[in-house]
Chains A and B, each alone.
Chain A
Amino acid sequence: MAKLLTRAHSSFLVIAIIGLLILLATMAPTLVYAATYTGWFTGYAMGNQIGAAGVEVSQGHFANHSYGTCGDPASYWPWGTKITTAQSITLHYSNGAAYSRKKFYLEDSGDLNCSQGNYWVDIYFGRYQRFGEPCNCPGSPSNGFCINANYNSCNDAQNFGRTRRTYTGP
C-alpha cells in the first residue's frame, strides 16, 4: 500500500483534499427540498384584478383552498408559495404567442365550498379579451378586469379543463 501511495499521489491527494475542504466550507447548501404532490389542476381567467393575497393576479399565479379548509393540507401554504409542475403548462401572451411555464406562485384562493380534493390547484391563465368579447370566464367574477388583446385567456382556461398533475411544493 505504501508503495502504491507514491509521493506524486500524495501531493495530488493533499491538494485535492484542501480544495475539497475549501469548497465544502464555502459551498451553499444547494440541496433543493421539494415534496411531490399529485392533484387536480383546473384553470381560470379574467376576474378581479386583486386576488385573495392582496396583489394583482397574473400569469404565473395559482389559487388553492382557503386557509385551513377542506381538510386540504395545502390550504396552509403561505402566500407566495412556489410550486413546480412536472410538465410545463402553455400560456399565451397578448399577441397570441404561446410560452410554457412550470413555476407558479400562490396568490389567490378558490373552490370555497371544497368540491375539489386535496392539493387542488387552479392555474391563472390571464386576463386578455378580444375587442367586443365579454370579460367573463367560469370560475371568476363576471365583468372583471380585462386587457384588450388579440387573444382570449378564458379559452386557455377552458381548454385546459381539468387534468391530474404532479408537482413539487413545500
Chain B
Amino acid sequence: MSCPKWFFNVLAMVCLVGILFAVVGSKPTAVAQPPIEYSLPEAAQQIQQKPAKPLTLLQAYDLFQTRAQRWQPQGAVAFLQSIDVEGDSRSSGQDGRRRGWAATLVGTEAQSTQLVVRIVDGVIVEESEEPAAPDLVPIPNKPQIDSPKALLVAQTAKQGLGPSADKGRGFHFALDTIPRGSVGILVRASYSGRPALLTIDPTKGSLLSAQVRSGENSGGILYSTDAGQTWQASNLNGQLVTAIYAHPLKEMTAYATVIQQGTIVLYQTQDGGQNWSALGSLPDRAGNWANSLAVVASAKQGLEFVVATSSGLWVSADGKSWSLNKRLPGGPKQWLGAAQGSEDYRLFASVPLGKNRGLYGTTDLSSWDKVAEGSYRLSESFDKTMVLATDEEQPDKALLLDLDSQKNIAIPGKVLRAAGNFRDLEATLFDDSLSGVGRLTNKQFQQTLTADNASLAVAPDFSTNHIAVAGGFRTGIHRTTDGGLTWNTVLTDPSAIVTGSNEVFSVKFLSANSVIAANGGFETWQNF
C-alpha cells in the first residue's frame, strides 16, 4: 500500500506547525526561560553551569509582579521569600541578594487559585497553579526599601547578627504580612546561635521588631505517685524540658535537661519528680538544645552525666563542670542508652546522620567502638540492663545490647521504641512506626493502642503487675494494667496540668509507683 506524495507533505507541515506552536506556547510569559524543576539534580547542574545572578528583593518583586499581571490582569504578589538553591553557602545573602526566590501570586478576590512561582538566577524554574490559600491578599504597594538596605538596617540595629546555617543558609529575605496585619520586609539570620528574625518597615526602612527563636515558657514535667493512674504538675512547669532520665541505681531520683535563656541546664529530683532543682549548666558552646540525656554509674568513676547535642557529647561528674567528649566520632549525637550493671555500665550513642553515621558503645567514655552502621533509636529495658537498638530503615530486626554482648534479634516491623523485658519479646511493648503500640502474641504483632504515641515505659515489676504507661503524641497519657493488651486514657489533656504541646515525649518509672512524664514545649519568636 502506498500513500500519495501530497499526503506526506501535508502531514509534515502539520507536524512542523504543531511543533512551532508548542515551542512558542511553551515560553514562559514573564521571564522568557523554560520551566525546569528546581529540585531536579540535572536541572540544578544546569543552573550551576549558568552564571549566578542573585537578585535583590525588589528585583525579584518586579519579576514576580510582571508574571502575576500576565497570569491575571489583576494579579499581584501576595507573598515573596528567598529560598536556598543548590550551591548556596552560609555567606549567601550577605550583600542582600539571593539566587533563589519564591512567590505566591494571587488574582482577583473571586479567584480560586494561586500561582506559586520560583526563580533561580532570574529564570523561572517552576510554576504551580493550585488552590488559593484563604486570607492571602495582594501586597498593596511595592516596597521602597530593598533587601541590601534592609540587611544593613538589621545589622546596624543588632550587632552580632550573623548568617544562618540551618534550613535557610545565609541571610534570607521575605515580604510578608506581619502580626499587625501590615506588610514588612523580613530578614532571617542568626543571633547567638539561634534563628533570628528582624522586621523592617518597607516604606521607612526602620526596624519594627527583632526576635529570636526561643523555646522557653512552655513544656514541663508531670509526676504520678500511683503508677500513672493520676498526674500532677511538678515545679518544672512552663519550662522547656528536652530530656529526662531516671537514676540508674537509686529510686525516686531523676534528671532533666531544661533550656533556659538559650542554655542547657541540668535539673535533679529526689522525691519522685515533684520538686526539681538545678544542678548546673552546660557551656554556651554546647548549644541550646539537648537531644538526649543519660546517667551512668561505675565503681571507678561514680556517677556521670552525659548530654547529647548537635555540637557533641558533653560529660560531667557533678552537673556543674562539663567537658566535650572528643573520643566519639563527629556528627550529631541524637540518642543515648545505657546498660547498667552494679559496678559498671555500657553506654551507647547514636550518630544518625553524616559520614560517621552509626551506633557507638563505650564502657569508660574514653574509648568508643562502632557497634553497627545505621541510624539507631535506643530503648532501655525495664531493669536498665539491656538496650534495644532499632533502625526504622531496617525493619524486622534489632540489636539487643547488654554489658558485654550484642546480638541481632527479630522484631515486628519498624520499631521506634520499646519497653519491657527485651529477653522475652512477648513481655515487651513495641511502638511500630507502621502499626502503632502493641505486643507480640504467639509471635504475631497485635496493635493494642490506637492513639498516636510518643513514649513508652513499663513499671519495674512489669512481669508481675503488668503496668505500663504510654505518652501520647497530642493524645493524652494512656495506661495498661494487663501488659499492654488493653489501654485506658488516664489523662486526655496533659497541657491542662503542665503547659505544653501535649506531645508527651518521655515517660520514666522512678519506682513501682512513682512515674514522671515530660510534656513537650514550643519554640516561638521572642523579642531581643
Contacts and interface: CB of A to CB of B under 8 A. Distances in A.
Bound together: yes
Nearest to A70: B334
Given A15-B16, A138-B474, A52 B179 contact: no
Contact of A112 (B136, B452, B523): B523
A97 B393 CA distance: 40
A62 to B, nearest CB: 13
A68 B79 contact: no
Given A55-B81, A68-B166, A68-B353, A32 B40 contact: yes
A126 B134 contact: yes
A31 B166 contact: no
Contacts of A76: 167
Contact of B35 (A23, A28, A56, A78): A28
B332 A69 contact: yes
A71 B174 contact: no
A77 B168 CA distance: 9
B39 A101 contact: no
Interface residues of A, number: 81
B4 A50 contact: no
A68 B331 CA distance: 10
Contacts of A6: 2, 5
A165 interface: no
A71 B352 contact: yes
B404 interface: no
A28 B328 CA distance: 48
Contacts of A69: 289, 291, 310, 332, 334
Contact of A12 (B12, B40, B353): B12
Contacts of A23: 19, 22-23
B57 interface: no
Interface centre among A23, A102, A126, A145 (most CB of B within 10 A): A23
A141 B500 CA distance: 7
B503 A78 contact: no
A158 B221 CA distance: 24
Contact of A8 (B8, B493, B501, B502): B8
Contacts of B479: none
Given A73-B353, A138-B502, A141-B524, A22 B19 contact: yes
Contact of A18 (B8, B16, B167): B16
B350 A55 contact: no
B495 A142 contact: yes
A115 B133 contact: no
Contacts of B433: 40, 117
A69 B289 CA distance: 10
B23 A82 contact: no
B351 to A, nearest CB: 9
B525 interface: yes
B168 A29 contact: no
Contacts of A59: 133-134
B133 A29 contact: no
Interface in A94-144: 94, 99-103, 105-106, 109, 111-118, 126, 138-142
B242 to A, nearest CB: 7
A125 to B, nearest CB: 11
Contacts of B454: 113, 115-116
25 contacts: A8-B7, A11-B9, A11-B12, A12-B11, A19-B12, A19-B15, A28-B36, A29-B34, A29-B42, A31-B42, A32-B40, A42-B474, A49-B179, A52-B195, A54-B188, A60-B131, A68-B353, A78-B83, A78-B84, A80-B84, A100-B131, A109-B523, A115-B503, A138-B501, A141-B522
Interface of A: 6-9, 11-12, 15-16, 18-20, 22-23, 26-34, 40, 42, 47-50, 52-56, 58-60, 66-71, 73, 76-82, 93-94, 99-103, 105-106, 109, 111-118, 126, 138-142, 145, 147, 161-162, 164, 169-170
Interface of B: 2-5, 7-9, 11-13, 15-16, 19-20, 22-23, 26, 33-37, 39-43, 46, 79, 81, 83-84, 102, 112, 116, 128, 130-131, 133-136, 166-169, 172, 174, 176-177, 179, 186, 188, 195, 197, 213, 215, 218, 242-243, 289, 291, 310, 332, 334-335, 350, 352-353, 375, 377, 392-393, 414, 416, 433-434, 452-455, 473-475, 493, 495, 499, 501-503, 505-506, 518, 520-525
